Chain A
């Protein structure tokens, strides 16, 4: 019962990008195309679920005053491990995800969830939280990159969608386009929430 609640909340009500404002830095960097969004999303889902699990297991033996450096070591170890294993055994997947894996270490969603959730909750709840947050992050990336790729490049997942007469708005692919798009989308979700609270 509680497990599915923790899973669901990350997707909309506590979406890491649109509601918690976490992980905006990688969001700016990789939301240029839908393909990148899926790649980054998949890597984050995996690392987030695993690090939440490990941190939840060790939460009672870690002294609270030095918990942050210990969490960082655990996360960085996990990311390096994933990087090496992918490079050694799944080179094709590593070639497409390789770029995003080092970026995950600095993704504040991972440390944020470790600190705010996994260090206080049990194994199953932490796993559910990690998976839900990861999926919420992926969805946010896909929404932002859909707008940016279509407007800035005229394609979606590499397929042309707007015809050859369409003149791409280059700004949308460049970093300012990410700020604009995230701003508009956060505004839109805030407006939705506001309307909901006014009507009830």
Chain B
């Protein structure tokens, strides 16, 4: 009986000190981690909306949440590059966060996978950079494709699925297609309203 109390107290003390040290470490690292994540998103936005370094990237909100971003080539917001948006999709073993940029016709400008925890050696190859190249080969395939109709080769589309990781490839590709369809409709609705108001600002985007 005496032992039970001794064990319970020892375990409580150990668990409390473990929890305490983690709380302390977490309070130090949490703001840093958030800052890192914001940096990752800012860098990724500048990457997918190439050419926006001198311009502005403007978030478009709906009900207090950012739905997509508009990228402009200049500070006056006249030359539109395109739209960027996050595509969360359920892969094989994790939620894959992908940032996609399209122009106003719906063609993909660039794709960047922000986070994923797929199977090492299989699904993780969606971020694989071959030696001598600077960007991941799998994500490069999306450039120039019609965003709302992308599909993997096994479904008759132009995107080559990663060998042994069709689930990951298909999840990202189908996620991009359905999200693009959804947002393109939304964007066209709002831009029609704007067109009547301020004389076609979308036209500037076709220069790319």
The secondary-structure label for the interface of chain B is: helix
- Which of A2-10, A27-35, A110-118, A188-196 participates in binding chain B? A27-35
Q: Please give, as numbers and ranges, the residues of chain A lying within 8 Å of B117 by CB-CB distance.
A: 98-99
A73-B7 contact given A29-B120, A173-B122, CB 8 Å threshold: no
Q: State the CA gap A43–B110 with chains docked (Å).
A: 33
Q: Of B28-36, B100-108, B144-152, B185-193, which binds chain A?
A: B28-36
A163 within 8 A of partner (CB):
no
Pick the residue among A62, A66, A88 that contacts B29 (CB under 8 A).
A88
**Selected contact of A36 from candidates B18, B28, B29, B121, CB within 8 Å:** B121
Query: CA separation between A32 and B120, bound complex, in Å?
Result: 7
The reply to whether A87 and B10 contact each other, CB–CB distance below 8 Å, is no
Q: Is B67 an interface residue (CB 8 A)?
A: no
User: Given A30-B120, A63-B10, A99-B120, A74–B25 Cβ distance below 8 Å?
Assistant: no
In the complex, which of the residues B25, B26, B32, B121 contacts A173, with contact meaning CB atoms closer than 8 Å? B121
Assembled-state Cα–Cα distance A87/B6 (Å): 37
Q: Does B60 contact A (CB under 8 A)?
A: no
B-contacting 9-mer, from A12-20, A77-85, A127-135, A179-187? A77-85
Judging by beta carbons under 8 Å apart, are B22 and A81 in contact? Answer: yes
Cβ-neighbour of A69 out of B11, B22, B120, B124 (below 8 A): B11
For the complex, give the distance between the alpha carbons of A65 and B6 in Å. 11
Please report the total number of A residues contacting B with Cβ < 8 Å.
34
Interface string of B39-75 (1 = CB under 8 A from A): 0100000000000000000000000000000000000
Known: A85-B25, A99-B117. Contact between A91 and B36, CB under 8 A? yes
Name which residue of chain A comes closest to B130, CB basis: A158
Majority-rule SS of A interface residues: helix
Answer yes or no: A170 CB below 8 A from chain B CBs: yes
Cα–Cα, bound, A183→B162 (Å): 27
Interface assignment of A89: CB less than 8 Å from any CB of chain B: yes
The residue on B at minimum CB distance from A102 is B117
In the bound assembly, the distance between CA atoms of A77 and B14 in angstroms comes to 11
Q: Is the C-beta of B15 less than 8 angstroms from some C-beta in chain A?
A: yes
How near does chain A come to B142, taking the closest CB pair, in angstroms?
21
| Complex interface: chain A residues within 8 A of B33 (CB) | 84, 87-88
A32 surroundings in chain B (CB, below 8 A)? 119-122
A-B contacts, 14 listed (Cβ < 8 Å):
A29-B119, A32-B122, A62-B10, A63-B10, A66-B7, A74-B14, A76-B18, A80-B22, A81-B22, A84-B29, A88-B32, A89-B29, A160-B131, A174-B164
13 extra A-B contacts, CB within 8 A, seeds A66-B11, A98-B117, A173-B121: A69-B11, A70-B10, A74-B18, A76-B18, A84-B22, A85-B25, A87-B32, A88-B36, A99-B120, A100-B120, A170-B163, A170-B164, A174-B164
Listed in ascending order, the chain B residues whose CB lies under 8 Å from chain A are: 3, 6-7, 10-11, 14-15, 18, 21-22, 25-26, 28-30, 32-33, 36, 40, 117, 119-122, 124, 128, 130-131, 163-164
Which of A's residues lie within 8 Å of B, judged by CB?
29-30, 32-33, 36, 62-63, 65-66, 69-70, 73-74, 76-77, 80-81, 84-85, 87-89, 91, 98-100, 149, 158-160, 168, 170, 173-174
